[in-house]
């Protein structure tokens, strides 16, 4: 249970708020590169700021303020040019610095400038940095860079605060209930056999490391040398869950749109079979899973949908002045403490954890520890091991 | 660029605000007569007020407050009676003065009264007056009065302040960019041929007249005796754009619902085919900004001129932040129009009638003819014809 002030410090994302300033020290994915092939100009809302992402005709990517300086029309309707993005209304044209470079109906071009932020493409995603200069390096986390993986991206917009996804990721025991008991209940309701064994948790543990927190669990039916206990799942601070086994590793990136909305980017790696031809593209699928009122469409009949249900069903912003954290929530408490500590770090003018400025650390990539095969005890139903690789999220 | 106070003065429409008081000196469209035949009771939001428009069983029109005086149920669910509108909940009945005339479950009818406003019908539309009595005359603009022509009205609720539509109408230059350059870009994206030529504007001009402002333009490829330069488009103060040519003429009427919403009526008139009797007015209600694709992408597909204008209005946001805009030389029509609004705000404060308010029946009868171009925009036409200037739903 938090005070109202601490609750607000955790939930706010706008400029000038303590958490908003902390989040502005990191690069955030705002779209897939493939999105710009479909439509080269897209409205983007990130950290409570309305922006326009575009690729101009020369191939340069820009991220500038939402509205034209002339009479405030949305640049989402802009026309890509060789020299930038041209407003639909009267043709004022902006380069990727936000500088006006053309005012076709005026005798001269006034020296106006709108907000612009740096962007970088990596691994099929486009990342933006909204914080103070100099910008840190865009972290080369392994899945973005490895050459033995094929990749795809699934993007869902969630009607809830980003932190609700993260709280869920530092809470191992929910797996036993939400995915085991509730998941099997849903299976029964839809007339399918149970999906999981609800193996009891024997112990859980959390370790802080250079890039975040590693959570570990030991459940009945596994021994202490299992990967779930020896390696576990890393949470990359501040907003990425790294999950999946060596064959299908993925990142779940929870990008704060504003205080009550989250862009959930699931970045999937697929270990390529030996001798197979590498995929050159990174396809993107945009899914619509929730109604704006927070109701999930249909039954939550697979694990990702059940997790999304849990995040969104806490409401637009969970009221942390009314929650009751208990012993099994100590990962949540640890994670919140890391957030508060790092908000202080930023207010002192220092870099918070996991900000990367050293090229030697970033090149060629940052290796993330990953279990070879996790959750075995859960996926053994009736003595048979059931492959946890889901057939694909609802679309 | 305006101060915050100036922008609020221009955009606030509620009762007691400066612009709200000015707008309350005019009659505004609140409904369509034929729609009351289908459903005789309709909720209306206008100038920040929630009201109920109804036609009772005796055929009398009323415009009264939204909620029953008893326990606040919306009267939009009311039942038309011979003597007024009967609340769905406990049967309290109101006449067009807002007076309660029946309380069926009470020993006597208390003398309660709801807000009520005068309404009049003209040209298939229902108009209301929300200002102080005595009400001025309902202006008999020509298109409303002529009875021997085909009429059509297209209605769209816009998620933006009404003034954004008006700013756009005082800005001739946008035609060259938004409708030609951007319009042709849209066509290209959709795999269709270009829709318009984009000749350069040579000059633009604005003249005030008794009922508002004429805007005129001269573009390359036209001579000074063309209608675009000699006549131009009238803006009927405060909220109507008149345009079209000799054959197909329209009013675009921008009725403020509240500070961030506008009910947009395109009232279109054209001759009947071969002198046939005109058909009943056609009504076309659309909901472009709630279309799932528009919600998903944050953009509407604007492939005709009218949709491109809608795009420009709504894409300035719920209320355009005029403290950060940059008005430049080509925006001087907007300056003139905003000054006209502010001057008339002052007139109302002094207790005078603002411009365009009509109290002399001799001026109003049989109708007020508005001079308009017989052939406009010819230089924008491809292959000698101006295509795709059709409004919503046409």
Taking only the tens place, the pLDDT of each residue in B62-84 is: 999 999 999 999 999 999 999 99
Confidence band of B28 (pLDDT split at 50, 70, 90): very high
Neighbouring CB atoms inside 10 A of B142's CB total: 18
Confidence band of A384 (pLDDT split at 50, 70, 90): low
Across A376-390, average pLDDT: 62
Strands (E), A210-300: 212-219, 233-236, 240-243, 250-258, 261-271, 284-287
pLDDT over threshold 60, residue B386: no
Q: Is-contact B213 B207, C-beta < 8 A?
A: yes
| Domains of chain B and any CATH numbers | 27-129 (2.102.10.10), 142-380 (3.90.380)
Query: Which residues of chain A have a CB within 8 Å of the CB of B181?
Result: 79, 86, 91
pLDDT of residue A371: 83
CB contact under 8 A, B316 and A91: no
Confidence band of A126 (pLDDT split at 50, 70, 90): very high
Burial (0-12, 13-18, 19+ Cβ within 10 Å), B288: middle
**ipTM score above 0.90:** no
pLDDT over threshold 50, residue A314: yes
Determine phi and psi for B313, rounding to 5 degrees.
Answer: -65, -50
Q: How many residues does chain A have?
A: 395
Q: Closest approach of chain A CAs to the CA of B372, in angstroms?
A: 25
pLDDT over threshold 50, residue A42: yes
pLDDT digits (tens, 9 = 90+) for B279-330: 999 999 988 887 777 766 778 889 888 899 999 999 999 999 999 999 999 9
Residue B100 DSSP SS3: strand
pLDDT digits (tens, 9 = 90+) for A317-372: 998 888 888 888 999 999 999 999 999 999 999 999 999 999 999 999 999 998 87
- B314, closest residue in chain A (CA to CA): A73
Q: Is-contact B74 B43, C-beta < 8 A?
A: yes
Confidence band of A385 (pLDDT split at 50, 70, 90): low
pLDDT digits (tens, 9 = 90+) for A69-108: 999 999 999 999 999 999 999 999 999 999 999 999 999 9
Helix, strand, coil shares of chain A as percentages rounded to 5?
25, 30, 45
pLDDT digits (tens, 9 = 90+) for B363-375: 999 999 999 888 7
User: Of the candidates A71, A76, A103, which has its C-beta nearest B298's C-beta?
Assistant: A76
User: Of the candidates A43, A76, A106, which has its C-beta nearest B330's C-beta?
Assistant: A106
Helical segments of chain B, H only: 4-11, 18-23, 33-38, 142-145, 163-169, 174, 183-189, 227-230, 292-297, 305-314, 332-349, 361-364
pLDDT of residue B389: 44
Instruction: Provide the mean pLDDT of chain B.
Output: 92
Q: How many residues does chain B have?
A: 394
Confidence band of A297 (pLDDT split at 50, 70, 90): confident
User: Of the candidates B298, B312, B328, which has its C-beta nearest A89's C-beta?
Assistant: B312
Return the C-alpha torsion angle A51, A55, A57, A58, nearest 10: 110
pLDDT of residue B382: 66
Neighbouring CB atoms inside 10 A of B390's CB total: 14
User: Measuring CA to CA, how many Å separate A277 from each of A33, A147, A246, A274, B155?
Assistant: 21, 11, 19, 9, 55
pLDDT of residue A339: 98
Across A165-190, average pLDDT: 90
pLDDT of residue B375: 78
CB contact under 8 A, B296 and A107: no
pLDDT of residue A293: 66
pLDDT digits (tens, 9 = 90+) for B229-244: 999 989 999 999 998 8
Name the packing angle between helices B332-349 and B4-11 (round to 10°). Answer: 70
pLDDT of residue B394: 33
Give B 130-189 residues with CB within 8 A of chain A. 167, 173-174, 176-178, 181-182, 185
pLDDT of residue A393: 35
The residue among B114 and A380 whose pLDDT is bigger is B114
Across A55-65, average pLDDT: 98
Instruction: Provide the mean pLDDT of chain A.
Output: 91
pLDDT of residue A78: 97
pLDDT digits (tens, 9 = 90+) for B331-346: 999 999 999 999 999 9
Across B151-162, average pLDDT: 96
pLDDT of residue B296: 66
pLDDT digits (tens, 9 = 90+) for B175-205: 999 999 999 999 999 999 998 888 899 999 9
pLDDT of residue B137: 98
A28 beta partners: A128
CA-CA distance, B207 to B329, in Å (whole number)?
Answer: 16
Confidence band of B111 (pLDDT split at 50, 70, 90): very high
Q: Which two tokens stand for residue A265?
A: 């980017």
Neighbouring CB atoms inside 10 A of B289's CB total: 16
User: Measuring CA to CA, how many Å separate B330 from each of A65, A96, B169?
Assistant: 23, 26, 13
pLDDT digits (tens, 9 = 90+) for A269-292: 999 999 999 999 999 999 888 776
CB contact under 8 A, A74 and B201: no
pLDDT of residue A159: 92
Give A 73-132 residues with CB within 8 A of chain B. 73-74, 76-77, 79, 86, 88-91, 103-107, 110, 112
Across B57-61, average pLDDT: 97
């Amino acid at each position: 249970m938090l005070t109202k002030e601490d609750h607000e410090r955790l939930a706010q994302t706008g400029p000038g708020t303590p958490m908003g300033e902390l989040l502005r020290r990191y690069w955030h994915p705002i779209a897939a590169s493939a999105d710009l092939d479909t439509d080269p100009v897209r409205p983007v809302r990130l950290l409570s700021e309305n922006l326009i992402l575009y690729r101009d005709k020369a191939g340069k990517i820009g991220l500038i303020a939402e509205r034209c300086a002339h009479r405030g029309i949305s640049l989402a309707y802009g026309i890509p040019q060789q020299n930038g993005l041209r407003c639909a209304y009267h043709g004022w044209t902006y380069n990727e610095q936000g500088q006006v470079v053309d005012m076709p109906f005026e005798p001269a071009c006034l020296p106006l400038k709108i907000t612009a932020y740096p962007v970088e493409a990596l691994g099929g995603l486009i990342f933006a940095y909204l914080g103070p200069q100099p910008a840190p390096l865009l972290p080369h986390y392994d899945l973005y860079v490895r050459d033995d993986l094929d990749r795809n991206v699934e993007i869902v917009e969630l009607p809830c605060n980003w932190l609700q996804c993260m709280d869920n990721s530092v809470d191992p025991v929910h797996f036993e209930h939400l995915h085991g008991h509730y998941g099997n209940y849903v299976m029964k309701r839809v007339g399918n056999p149970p999906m999981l064994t609800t193996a009891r948790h024997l112990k859980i543990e959390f370790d802080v490391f250079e890039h975040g927190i590693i959570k570990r669990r030991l459940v009945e039916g596994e021994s202490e040398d299992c990967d779930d206990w020896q390696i576990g799942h890393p949470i990359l601070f501040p907003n990425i869950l790294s999950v999946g086994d060596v064959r299908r590793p993925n990142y779940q990136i929870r990008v704060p749109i504003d205080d009550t909305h989250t862009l959930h980017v699931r970045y999937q790696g697929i270990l390529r079979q030996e001798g197979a031809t590498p995929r050159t593209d990174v396809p993107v699928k945009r899914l619509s899973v929730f109604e704006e009122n927070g109701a999930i469409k249909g039954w939550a009949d697979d694990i990702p949908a059940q997790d999304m249900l849990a995040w969104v069903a806490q409401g637009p912003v969970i009221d942390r002045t009314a929650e009751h954290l208990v012993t099994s929530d100590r990962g949540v408490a640890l994670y919140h403490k890391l957030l508060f500590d790092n908000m202080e770090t930023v207010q002192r003018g220092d870099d918070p954890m996991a900000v990367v400025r050293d090229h030697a650390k970033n090149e060629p990539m940052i290796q993330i520890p990953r279990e070879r095969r996790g959750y075995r005890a859960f996926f053994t139903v009736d003595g048979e091991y059931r492959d946890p690789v889901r057939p694909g999220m609802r679309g | 660029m305006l101060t915050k106070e100036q922008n609020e003065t221009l955009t606030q429409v509620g009762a007691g605000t400066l612009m709200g008081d000015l707008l309350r000196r005019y009659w505004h469209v609140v409904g369509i007569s034929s729609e009351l035949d289908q459903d005789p009771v309709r909720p209306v939001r206008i100038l920040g007020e929630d009201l109920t428009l109804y036609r009772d069983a005796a055929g009398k029109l009323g415009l009264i407050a939204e909620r029953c005086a008893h326990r606040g149920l919306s009267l939009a669910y009311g039942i038309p009676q011979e003597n007024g509108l009967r609340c769905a909940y406990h049967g309290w009945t109101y006449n067009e003065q807002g007076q309660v005339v029946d309380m069926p479950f009470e020993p006597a009818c208390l003398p309660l009264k709801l807000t009520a406003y005068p309404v009049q019908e003209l040209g298939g539309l229902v108009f209301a007056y929300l200002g102080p009595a005595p009400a001025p005359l309902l202006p008999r603009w020509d298109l409303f009065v002529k009875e021997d022509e085909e009429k059509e009205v297209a209605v769209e609720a816009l998620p933006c302040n009404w003034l954004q539509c008006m700013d756009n109408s005082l800005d001739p230059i946008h035609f060259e960019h938004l409708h030609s350059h951007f319009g042709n870009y849209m066509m290209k994206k959709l795999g269709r041929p270009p829709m318009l030529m984009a000749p350069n504007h040579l000059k633009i001009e604005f003249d005030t007249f008794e009922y508002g402002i004429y805007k005129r333009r001269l573009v390359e490829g036209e001579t000074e005796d063309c209608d675009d330069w000699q006549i131009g488009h009238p803006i009927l103060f405060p909220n109507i754009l008149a345009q079209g040519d000799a054959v197909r003429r329209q009013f675009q009427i921008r009725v403020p619902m509240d500070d961030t919403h506008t009910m947009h009526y395109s009232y279109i008139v054209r001759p009947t085919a071969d002198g046939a009797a005109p058909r009943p007015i056609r009504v076309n209600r659309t909901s472009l900004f709630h279309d799932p694709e528009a919600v998903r992408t944050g953009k509407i597909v604007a492939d005709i001129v009218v949709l491109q204008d809608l795009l420009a209005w709504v894409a300035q946001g719920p209320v355009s932040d005029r403290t950060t805009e940059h008005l430049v030389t080509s925006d001087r029509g907007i300056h003139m129009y905003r000054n006209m609004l502010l001057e008339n705000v002052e007139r109302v404060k002094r207790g005078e009638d603002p411009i365009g308010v009509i109290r002399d029946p001799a001026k109003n009868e049989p109708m007020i003819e508005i001079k308009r171009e017989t052939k406009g925009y010819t230089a924008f036409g491809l292959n000698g014809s101006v295509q795709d200037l059709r409004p919503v739903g046409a």
